[in-house]
Amino acid sequence: MRSTLMVYGHRGSAGTHPENTLVSFKAAEKAGVHGIELDVQLTKDGVPVVIHDEKVDRTTNGVGWVKDYQYEELCKFDAGGTYSKRFQGEPIPSLDDVLAWIKPTSLRLNIELKTNYLPYPGIENKIIALLHHHQLTDRTVLSSFNHYSIQRINQQEDSIETAILLSDKLVHPWEYMKRTGAKSIHIEYHALDEYLMEHTTKLQIPVRVYTINSIDQMSKVESMGCEAMFTDYPSVAIHRND
């Protein structure tokens, strides 16, 4: 039976390549994913860059906050060597770089706005402008744990899908999400249940689940009728039913 569950490479192919780098996104594409997921923060001079943490320490050879570096300074850090020597010299990409790469592919895109810890004023407008510039509004979903970010996007833009990110069970999220204008739910695996799926299926609200790395969990989310899953192992996910 052909699966309808879509596969998004989480931070590219984070289980096999340095997360949120171009080499990781390219590996996910090569594995045959339907889409990729990435995280965006802002530099001191307001450039949207693709990195998960507010600080560069965990994933690069640098130290300190993304917000305290000019983009040109941030470009000097190595975002590949801490993962493996094989990827030494891989830079932190700008969002502009990644969008330029993704444009000629057929990949879908999920951009997570990392505004749940630092507010990054203006980040929503910058991302919207870049998506229009690269004509990627129709295959992108914007998500955030900061639902005010989602609300801000929907107050000014109706051509880009948005999703609320949930790490825990909410009471009737399909009602709550109306206040934000979001059209879909991105949810942590352990917060997913049949009750949520029953209601969201009836209401035609897409549910996408993170981060699914075992075959058992892949089969479970597939049988529950989720639209997509985010995985660190795109190749495993794509070939799970071979």
Question: Of 35, 21, 4, which Cα lies nearest the Cα of 234?
Answer: 35
Select the residue interacting with ligand G3P from 112, 124, 157, 232 (CB under 6 A).
Answer: 112
Site for ligand G3P contains 233 (CB under 6 A): no
CA dihedral 62, 69, 17, 141 (to 10 degrees): 160
Distance in Å, CB of 190 to ligand G3P, minimum: 13
How far, in Å, are 34, 102, 174, 222 from residue 37 at the CA level? Answer: 10, 12, 23, 19
Q: Shortest approach of ligand G3P to residue 52 CB, angstroms?
A: 6
190 among known catalytic residues: no
Q: Restricting to residues 74-93, which ones interact with ligand G3P according to CB under 6 A?
A: none
Which helix (H) or strand (E) covers residue 24, if one does?
Answer: helix 22-31
230 binds ligand G3P (CB under 6 A): yes
Among 25, 77, 83, 210, binds ligand G3P (CB under 6 A): 210
* 10 annotated active-site: yes
Q: Could you give the string, one character per residue 46-65, with x where binding to ligand G3P holds by CB under 6 A and - elsewhere?
A: ------x-------------
Residue from the set 16, 143, 184, 200 that interacts with ligand G3P by CB under 6 A: 143
Quote the CA–CA distance of 112 and 114 in Å, as a whole number.
Answer: 6
Q: Is 25 in the site for ligand G3P (CB under 6 A)?
A: no
Q: Does 37 sit near ligand G3P (CB under 6 A)? A: yes
10 binds ligand G3P (CB under 6 A): yes
Choose, by CB under 6 A, the member of 21, 74, 186, 236 that binds ligand G3P: 186
Residue 14 CB, nearest approach to ligand G3P (Å): 8
What distance separates the 2 farthest-apart alpha carbons in the chain? 51
Query: Where are the alpha helices (H) located in 87-205, listed in sequence order?
Result: 95-102, 123-133, 147-156, 173-176, 194-202
What span, in angstroms and rounded, lies between the C-alpha atoms of 156 and 234? 34
Query: Backbone phi, then psi, for 73, in 5-degree steps?
Result: -70, -40
Phi, psi for residue 121 in degrees, rounded to 5: -55, 135
17 forms part of the interface with ligand G3P (CB under 6 A): no
> Which residue ranges make up the site for ligand G3P (CB under 6 A)?
10, 37, 39, 52, 110, 112, 143, 165, 186, 210, 230
Q: Which residues are catalytic?
A: 10, 52
